[in-house]
A and B are shown apart, each in its own frame.
Chain A
Amino acid sequence: MSFNVFFRGFRAGLHDFGSCISTIVNSVLLAVAYVAGVGVTSIVAKVVGKRFLDSGFSDAPSYWVDLRIDERPDEDFYRQF
């Protein structure tokens, strides 16, 4: 086996190892963020009756929601929100 082949395999192995570590660290950090951030906020919201999505049928005469997105300054289109 030549050095080139050995080092190519070694680099690929290191890359895979790095990806694994990255996935594990990301998952742990995201899990913490999910529980501490999303979880706590969600529980508090549920306690105070805040809903984030409209679901379930209602007796309202219409489900249409007003959307007048022309009535804005053009500068709004520079923004991502």
Chain B
Amino acid sequence: MYILGISCYYHDASAALLKDGVVVAAAEEERFSRKKHDSSFPINAVNFCLRDAGITIDEVSHIGFYEKPFLKMERVLSQHLECFPFSFKTFLSSIPSWINEKLRVPGTIRKRLKYRGDIFFVEHHLAHAAASFLVSPFRKAAVVTTDGVGEWTTTSFGVAENSSIRLMKEIRFPSSLGLLYSTVTAYLGFSVNNSEYKVMGLAPYGDMNPETNPYYRKLRRVIDVKGDGSYRLDMGYFKYHYADRMPSDKFCGLLGAPVTGRGAEMSKRHKDIAAAVQLVLEEVLTKILMHVHKVTKCDNLVLGGGVALNSVYNGKILRRTPFKRVWIQPNASDGGTSIGAASFVYHCILKNRRGFVQEHAYLGPSFSDEEIRSYLDKGGVKYSELGSDDELVRKTAALIHAEKVVGWFQGRMEWGPRALGARSILASPLRPEMKEILNLKVKHREKFRPFAPAVCEDDALKYFECDTPVPEPADFMLMVYPIRKRWRSRIPAVTHVDGSGRLQTVRRHQNPLYYGVIKEFGRLSSIPIIVNTSFNIRGEPIVCTPHDAYRCMMGTGIDCLVMGRFIVFREDNGKDMWDSEKLAED
């Protein structure tokens, strides 16, 4: 039985296909359309899923959609009714898309996919909960979902067991922890629903002591938190419920200056504000989790929703709360809800038993060596071919050890926002300058943002102060842990200002080639850790096809591309060089 999950029309549209409860393919539309956070109907992602499974739409028995559009419309209308006449501008700009597409989901699905079967609509936070729990290794777990907003819910918790999910309590719009974080993101001059992780990366540069950070006390004024973790925002500080701007003038007054301009240099003040919102988020989430543990009496926890991508807090959960194990969907934000909707239909509505655990995120398109060779030959690209996997591993590790920046394109593309060793840029972490080299030659991103270390799971505890055993979400780069002090100066390119690293742990069975490269680099350098950053140009989605990868390398300072069994050197193909920075947008 095939079930298709679809999410779209807000941000990060995606599709996922289940075969008898097993996720066989999943991808976000942006990877195909090349528009970052593409929210349009994921026709390319759906077509990929069907093609990958070798089926047509006629073989799909059910489709799950990730929210209930009419409930969401009710909330949007309530915003306009509450905020009349200040919502006039957003009414004019938002209502046409509701009339033209968002309220026509069944018609669009039937027309664009030529589909005649059942369509189920799963509440947004239920889809988040399902995306995390139903593919987790737990039989029973407490479930907490936190994001910007779904239909009405912004935070929810409950308990899930076997094939049932029971969400018990919620916090409703307009109070939202996710939107509070996004408001500060906007205030600091970053883009909402895109750059929240930059605020998270900026926070350690600020004062992380709530006693001395002046902005922490100010931000605590905008949110009232009860002992059970429930919270409410003072909406006088916000405009997002009626305008296309997040902070109000009162919010700017509270923090003592207007909204920061795009691209402005981050001062001590900005860093302290980032630290303050991270502190507030951590305080509220800890209270929520303590309460949830008390109510559910479960030792296992699953997290869903965009806030669950806050890897800095994720790394503190098991130390700060009584939970003993945690699992997080690798694509925890809206993109992941297509897996949630499809899994919910299969297990909770159709009452099928669970048997699938998501152990890796390699669910996207792959390209055979013949397809890659054909692409390279047609484009007249100069390349060399490697004879075996061992040679490929040795050669790649040697290039990284020689301080080359390597584009790594192998196997199925990752599901979710993180590059995890299928569409990655790899480099050596041993030189402090590598951070600047990557930023100047390739990523063109803010100096304060850290690069992530990738380490084999069996070496992780030697270099990082991880929880024991290392939690599975670390495989998806969802946990930040302190790097052990003696190693910090040895791997400066991946050591953040506070001594932490957002590590990716790699297990051999997940990705043998990538695992082999890290181990081989360890043999050459005595430290089995490499830099892993996403294979993309700033402002563009992570690469998907051989063409995207080659184009990205030739537009940046990536030295070479290891694609399937082939190695392409940038300097050998000078005719295709271009400057990606000229077109970079954020």
Contacts and interface: CB of A to CB of B under 8 A. Distances in A.
Contact of B230 (A31, A64, A67, A77): A64
A31 B92 contact: yes
Interface string A38-81: 11011101000001111111100111111111100010011111
B82 A57 contact: no
Given A42-B82, A79-B68, A53 B170 contact: no
A27 interface: yes
B169 A65 contact: yes
Interface residues of B, number: 56
A80 B121 contact: yes
Given A34-B91, A70-B166, A54 B172 contact: yes
Contact of B234 (A51, A55, A80): A55
Interface in B110-126: 118-123, 126
Nearest to A34: B91
A56 B122 CA distance: 30
Interface in B503-534: none
Interface string B336-378: 0000000001000100000000000000000000000000000
B164 interface: yes
Interface string A13-36: 000000000000011001100100
Nearest to A50: B81
Interface of B: 68-71, 74, 77-82, 84-85, 87-88, 91-92, 95-96, 103, 105-106, 118-123, 126, 153, 156, 158, 164-175, 224, 226, 228, 230-235, 241, 345, 349
Given A53-B79, A55-B234, 17 more contacts: A34-B88, A38-B77, A42-B80, A53-B173, A53-B174, A53-B241, A54-B174, A62-B226, A63-B230, A64-B169, A65-B170, A66-B168, A67-B153, A77-B120, A77-B349, A80-B121, A81-B74
Top-9 shortest CB links A-B: A81-B70, A63-B230, A42-B84, A55-B235, A52-B78, A64-B169, A52-B82, A67-B170, A57-B224
Interface of A: 26-27, 30-31, 34, 38-39, 41-43, 45, 51-58, 61-70, 74, 77-81
30 contacts: A30-B95, A34-B80, A38-B80, A38-B87, A42-B81, A42-B82, A42-B84, A52-B78, A52-B81, A53-B82, A53-B173, A53-B174, A54-B172, A54-B174, A55-B174, A56-B235, A57-B224, A57-B234, A58-B232, A61-B226, A63-B230, A64-B169, A64-B230, A65-B169, A67-B153, A67-B168, A68-B168, A70-B167, A80-B103, A81-B68
